[in-house]
Structure 1
Amino acid sequence: MIFSFSATPEFDFMTYFARHIQATVQNGLLVIPDHIGDGYIRKLVFGPDFKITIHRYVLREDLVIKRQTSGLGNDLITVFFYSNEQALEITFNDEPHVQFSHRDESAIQVTSNDLSSTIRFPAHQLIHYVVVAIKPPRLKDLLAVSEPNSVLQTITGSGNSFLFFESMAAETKLLLKNMAAIDMNDRLSNFYMQIKVQELLYLVFHKLSLRENAAHQTINSADAERLLSIRNEIISDLSVPPVIRELAQVAAMSETKLKQLFKQTFGSTIYNYYQQARMEEAAFLLKQGKHSVGEVGYELGFSNLSHFSRIFEKHYGLNPKRYSYS
């Protein structure tokens, strides 16, 4: 199933999606019809400039959501929380889909609404994601930061094009899980959810506020697509360190532009991102208990196991052997 729409400032996803699947919306709730799947979409509005949409369902066929920029300005910030256990496929330029997630199938995406995107959700799998839409002045008032860093300035400013990704910490995953379990028949449920949505925003913008101050580089849909392709290239074989020159050729960017945009978008240099993914993979393999420390180290390209142990301990506070038994 394909659902395409143009992201105009007044567009309401749930209303148009309900028409698309011939369903009705009652009191902010869209129940997925039986012939399509099982589950719901819920919208809560906290004012004309602040709302949340919660998606929780299992579908009988793949769902492809194509979001086209309207060209009418970008006065809306979208914060996308994806916490599925299945891989997320996302693209920003209508190219073949790039699998975003790796071992940790979750992500937080903060974007202006002037970037086109396509997201594919797999059939027969629980889909759970949350979209917070808020206008810059409202977010700026909520954050109330006297000296925001360049990232927060860009997001809360006017007319900026941006895309930022953050990993999802356990605290955020637990909060999303608890929000999904709220009894919405409770008279104060809307009030409670507004508090929890602000808590969600705190968690993501706190992390973004810690990023390095740097001049913002404008990004477009084609750049975003290339960056996701490069990210996929980096994590496709974690036994081989990334070579900037080769990645720049793949991205059709200069090395300088690639390094700047990658760090701006993902909050880390290309090599540090690779090293973090490498250690996360090592932790995953060690916890499985099917591989020795030596096997994990060699599989991830370490010829010196002492070096592997030092780097792993730096990331997790325990050496690989102790971690595997923790």
Structure 2
Amino acid sequence: MIFSFSATPDFDFMTHFAHHLGVAMENNLLRIPEKLGEGYIRKLTFGPDFKVTLHRYTLREDLVIKRNSSGMGNELITIFFYSNEDSLEISFNNDQQVRFSEREDAAIQVTSNDLSSAIRFPAGHSVHYVVIAIKPVYLKALLGLTKQNATLKTITTSGSSFLYFESMTAETKILLKHMAAVNTQDDLSHFYMQIKVQELIYLLFRQLVLRESTAAHYSINSADAERLLHIRNEILYDLSVPPVLSELAQVAAMSETKLKQLFKQTFGDTIYNYYQRARMEEAAFLLKQGKRSVAEVGYELGFSNLSHFSRLFEKCHGLTPKRFSAQAK
């Protein structure tokens, strides 16, 4: 099933998706018909400039949601929180889709509504995600910041084109679970959810505010976004091999300078630091499984010097690999 729409600021996803499925909404709730699966989509409106949809369903067939560029510049910010462990596939330029999440890494996407995208939700998997749609002026007033780094200034300025990814913290995952468990029959549930959605925004922007404040913003288009996701996948494909900038630039069809700038802007870190963090996250995952020794994990991830591996792991996780492995058992 394919659902395609243009991301204009006044577009109402729920109304059009309900029409696409041939079902009626009731009290801002769309229940998935039994023939298509089970679950629901719920809409929360906190004013004309601030809306949220909560998606929780399992479908009998793949669903592709295609968002086409509004052609109007950034007059709406979309924040996408994907909170379950199954990987999603996304494309920005109608090319082959690539992984959006990998063990919940980079599971938050912040984008202007002038970028096209297509996300595939696989059949038979429980899908849990939250989408916040908010206008730049409203967000700026909500944050109330007197000083903004380049990232925040770009997001809250009308007309900007941007794409940012952030990893999801444990605090954010817990908050999303609490939101999913709210009794919507409670008279104060709407007020409670408004507070919790603002808390979600706070937790995200607490991360974004730490990004480099001096770097200039570079406009991004759908083709650039597509290439950056491919580069990210190239980096993560084999964590035992360090990335080579010249080779990645060739794959991306960009200059090395442009690739370095856009990658850091989009993912919040340099290519090499991103690679090293991914190695340490993979090391933690493998050690938690308990099937490999510390040495085996280190060698598998390309470390010939296990002391170096241990120092990097402790810097990232606060424990040596040996102690981390012991605590995970």
- Return the TM-score normalized by structure 1: 0.99
Looking at structure 2, the residues matched to 208 and 247 of structure 1 have their Cα atoms a distance apart, in angstroms, of 26
CA contact (8 A) 1:62 1:120 kept: yes
| Aligned residue type for 1:79 | I
Who is 2:278 aligned against? Answer: 277
Looking at structure 2, the residues matched to 249 and 272 of structure 1 have their Cα atoms a distance apart, in angstroms, of 20
Who is 2:102 aligned against? Answer: 102
Who is 1:90 aligned against? Answer: 90
Looking at structure 2, the residues matched to 140 and 167 of structure 1 have their Cα atoms a distance apart, in angstroms, of 22
Looking at structure 2, the residues matched to 84 and 101 of structure 1 have their Cα atoms a distance apart, in angstroms, of 9
Identify the range of structure 1 (282-291 vs 102-111) with the bigger mean alpha-carbon deviation.
102-111
Who is 1:254 aligned against? Answer: 255
Displacement of 1:84 = 1.6
The reply on whether 1:111 has 2:111 as its aligned counterpart is yes
- What is the correspondence of 1:126-205 to structure 2 with a 5 Å cutoff? 126-205=126-205
Who is 1:323 aligned against? Answer: 324
Secondary structure of 2:68's aligned partner:
strand
| Cα deviations by residue, 1:202-256 (Å, 9 ceiling, x for unpaired) | 0001110110011000000000000000000000000000000000000000000
CA contact (8 A) 1:110 1:165 kept: yes
Identify the range of structure 1 (19-28 vs 246-255) with the bigger mean alpha-carbon deviation.
19-28
Who is 2:6 aligned against? Answer: 6
CA contact (8 A) 1:103 1:281 kept: no
| Aligned residue type for 1:118 | A
Displacement of 1:72 = 2.9
The alignment covers a number of residue pairs equal to 326
Who is 2:33 aligned against? Answer: 33
Who is 1:233 aligned against? Answer: 234
Displacement of 1:188 = 0.8
| Cα deviations by residue, 1:20-41 (Å, 9 ceiling, x for unpaired) | 1111111100000000000000
| Cα deviations by residue, 1:75-104 (Å, 9 ceiling, x for unpaired) | 001110001210011111010010122233
- Return the TM-score normalized by structure 2: 0.98
CA contact (8 A) 2:89 2:100 kept: yes
Displacement of 1:73 = 3.4
The reply on whether 1:290 has 2:303 as its aligned counterpart is no
Secondary structure of 1:218's aligned partner:
coil
Looking at structure 1, the residues matched to 152 and 41 of structure 2 have their Cα atoms a distance apart, in angstroms, of 30
- What is the correspondence of 1:21-100 to structure 2 with a 5 Å cutoff? 21-100=21-100
| Cα deviations by residue, 1:255-307 (Å, 9 ceiling, x for unpaired) | 00000000000000000000000000000000110000111001000011111
| Aligned residue type for 1:160 | S
Looking at structure 2, the residues matched to 130 and 258 of structure 1 have their Cα atoms a distance apart, in angstroms, of 30
Secondary structure of 1:25's aligned partner:
coil
Unmatched segments (≥5 aa) in structure 1: none
Secondary structure of 1:64's aligned partner:
strand
CA contact (8 A) 1:85 1:106 kept: no
Secondary structure of 1:271's aligned partner:
helix
RMSD across aligned positions (CA): 0.8
Secondary structure of 1:90's aligned partner:
strand
The reply on whether 1:301 has 2:305 as its aligned counterpart is no
Cα distance change of structure 1 residues 105 and 40 upon mapping to structure 2, 3 Å threshold: farther
Looking at structure 1, the residues matched to 255 and 94 of structure 2 have their Cα atoms a distance apart, in angstroms, of 23
Looking at structure 2, the residues matched to 208 and 317 of structure 1 have their Cα atoms a distance apart, in angstroms, of 23
Unmatched segments (≥5 aa) in structure 2: none
CA contact (8 A) 2:73 2:112 kept: no
The reply on whether 1:310 has 2:311 as its aligned counterpart is yes
Secondary structure of 1:55's aligned partner:
strand
The reply on whether 1:263 has 2:264 as its aligned counterpart is yes
Displacement of 1:7 = 1.2
Cα distance change of structure 1 residues 165 and 216 upon mapping to structure 2, 3 Å threshold: same
- Percentage of matched positions with identical amino acids: 73
The reply on whether 1:121 has 2:121 as its aligned counterpart is yes
| Cα deviations by residue, 1:131-186 (Å, 9 ceiling, x for unpaired) | 00001111011100011111111100120000110000000000001001101111
Looking at structure 2, the residues matched to 105 and 254 of structure 1 have their Cα atoms a distance apart, in angstroms, of 26
CA contact (8 A) 1:88 1:105 kept: no
